[in-house]
Structures are given as structure tokens and as C-alpha cells.
Amino acid sequence: MTKSCQWNQLSLRRFSIMASAVGRICGARLLKNYGLVAPQVCQLSTGAQGWTKNRKLWLSTVGVVGSGVGALLFALEQSVQASGSEAHAPHQPWSHDGWFKSLDHASVRRGYEVYKQVCRACHSLQYIAFRNLVNVTHTEEEAKAEAAEAMIKDGPDEEGNYFERPGKLSDYLPSPYPNENAARAANNGAYPPDLSLICSGRKGGEDYIFALLTGYMDAPAGVVLREGQNYNPYFPGGAISMAQVLFDEAAEYSDGTPATASQLAKDVATFLRWCSEPELDDRRLMTIKAIGMFSMLAAVAYYFKRHKWSTLKSRKLAYKPVSKK
């Protein structure tokens, strides 16, 4: 590219910043008078030389490596993963599946009830505070009542003693065990994981949770379970220290929904999805906004491209032979 052409580009860029404001007003008339065609041709046409050898080599290497890595990642993601012994959780029709679908808040509320009545005996939920429930599953009054039911360890007071007090909205949900060692000691050495982020932390997410909670069965012949272990085909290795906890009527719903085992599992899985991604609803709304905004911007960009190219697309090149006479 020649020097004058580079200069033209630079000045064109400067000019186009001003022109973008002015251009909206003047429209196509702007292009007629200012002799913009020449630098534009210079900018938009590819050189007669094409790419240099080095450039070609470099770009093709980038292309090959990039697409290779992409293909590898895709293949790894798509693989059947049949090397493990665990069963893969079948996909369930979650009501929050889809680009625009929010969580079912009635289900999240029921899931909280299941957590409170069943899961909380062993599993902590340490990153969820009672205030998080407000306007998601509970009204402020209800959330305050939920918090007040729990005894929170606080302190030290003026005399240096720790004490227990009823919870407040700002408190996090109390854990069933003071620490991991206590949890292990109470559960045959197995640590019941914290459930705050479990839905994002396990492959399969809520499908896995649902399958695990409803998938308990007798161990097939040849599988040896140790004392206190149970067989669950969806758990990696099959031997899980958690016993089946969700049976029909294992928990009670305040809204009168029949508490079948699968209903309990579905609701608690939805609840745990909310725990992992409290921003899910906002993200779905943001998807709608982003699609709306970007489609408008795409229309503008399309018009702008046509506008800028119009001179080039409609040009006529006339060659006037200079007569020698």
C-alpha cells in the first residue's frame, strides 16, 4: 500500500468520525461532492499483489491449528464418555430450559421446603443467605420468619462468650456440622458436599441431581458395597454413602402439591439450580434484550455498509484513449 494511500486512510478515518454525525443529516449527498471515491477504492480493493508468502503461511497455520483445536474440543464434548461405569443422567424437560425461560418460582419454593425438611440434616448451603429468598421464593416477612427459626452462632459478646441467637435476614443458612471433620465423622467418613453450587459443579446439573435422587437401586451382582454404602448407578463408582432419602411423602409441601418422590426430586433440583445461578432469570431477560438490541444494530450496520459501498457498486469506469494527434 502506498504512502499516500495510508495517509488517505488516516484522514478518512478522522473524517468518518465527523462524518458519522454529519452523515446522518446529509445522507448520500455527502458522498457526491467531497471526492471520497478515490480513497474508498483504495481502502476497499485488495492489492494486485495479494498476500505475501509469509503471510499466507502464517494465516494458514493459524487456521489449521485453530480449527483443529475447535474440532478436538467439539469431539471431546460430544463423545459418549462410555469409559466410566456410571450411568448418564437422562435429560428432563425443565421448565427453565430454553433461551427465554425463567425458573419456576413455585417449584423453587417447594424445593426450599424439601431442602429444609430433608437435605439440611446433612448438607450445608453456606452461600445462600435468608435475604436471598426475599422476592424469589418468600416474602420479606416469611423470610424473616424462616431466619428466626434458625439458631445462629454469634459472638463474642462483652464477656468473650459465643452465644446463639435467632437468625436475621442477613445470616447465611446454618450448616448442620461445625466443620468438615465433624461432617465426616458423622457420615462414615464421607463428606456431604455443600449444595450451594452443586448444580453447576456436577456434570449434568439438575438432570444429574434428579437422576441421583430417584435412581437408588439394589446393587447388581458382583458389586461389593462397604458398610453404610448404597448403590446408585448415576454416582461415579456406584457406591454412594448417602442413602435414599426421597420417598413419597418424605417432605410436606405448604402449597398442597402431592409430595411424590419424583416431585420432591424435581423441586429440589430446581431449587439447587437457583442456588447455583440466582441470576438465571436476569440472564434470560438479558438474552431477550440482547437479541432485540443487536438485531437493530445489525440492521443499522447493514444499511451503513450498503450506504458506504453504494459509490463503489454503482461506479462506471470509462477509459478515454488519449489520441496522439
Partner 1 sequence: MSAWTTLNRVVFKRTSTFFLAAAAGTFFFERTFDVASVALFESINKGKLWKDIKHKYE
> Where do contacts with partner 1 occur on this chain (CB under 8 A)?
21, 24-25, 95, 100-106, 109, 135-139, 142, 255, 281, 284-285, 288-289, 292-293
CA diameter of the chain:
115
| C-alpha distances out from residue 283 to 66, 103, 265, Å | 30, 11, 25
Task: State in angstroms the smallest separation of the CB of 206 from partner 1.
Answer: 15
Instruction: For partner 1, give the closer residue by CB, 42 or 136.
Output: 136
Q: Which is nearer to partner 1, 41 or 293 (CB)?
A: 293
123 labeled part of a ligand binding site = yes
CB 127 within 8 A of CB 304: no
CA atoms within 13 A on the CB side of 76: 6
Give the closest residue to 199 by CA, choosing from 209, 214, 211: 209
Of 159 and 255, CB closest to partner 1: 255
Neighbouring C-beta atoms of residue 82, cutoff 10 Å: 7
Closest CA to 262 of 209, 225, 305: 209
Q: Which lies closer to partner 1 via its Cβ, residue 135 or residue 181?
A: 135
Tell whether omega for the bond before 156 is within 30 degrees of 0, i.e. cis. yes
DSSP assignments along 175-205, one per residue: PSSSSHHHHHHHTTT------TTHHHHSTTH
Identify the CA nearest to 86 among candidates 216, 235, 263, 296. Answer: 235
What's the closest the beta carbon of residue 136 comes to partner 1, in angstroms?
6
Minimal distance in Å, beta carbon 137 to partner 1?
A: 7
How far apart are CB 15 and partner 1 at their closest, in Å?
A: 17
- Closest to partner 1 by CB, 277 vs 281, is 281
* CB nearer partner 1, residue 21 or residue 322: 21
Torsions phi, psi of 76, nearest 5?
A: -65, -40
Residues in the chain: 325
The residue among 86 and 142 lying less far from partner 1, judged by its C-beta, is 142
Nearest approach, Cβ of residue 77 and partner 1 (Å): 29
Whether residue 231 contacts residue 110, with contact meaning beta carbons closer than 8 Å, is answered with no
Q: Determine the Cα angle at 206 with ends 261 and 203, to 5°.
A: 130
Q: Are 115 and 195 in contact (CB under 8 A)?
A: yes
Cβ 104 to partner 1 shortest distance, Å: 5
Q: State the minimum distance, in angstroms, from the CB of residue 130 to partner 1.
A: 15
Binding site annotation covers 217?
no
Residues belonging to the binding site for heme c are 119, 122-123, 242
Residues belonging to the binding site are 119, 122-123, 242
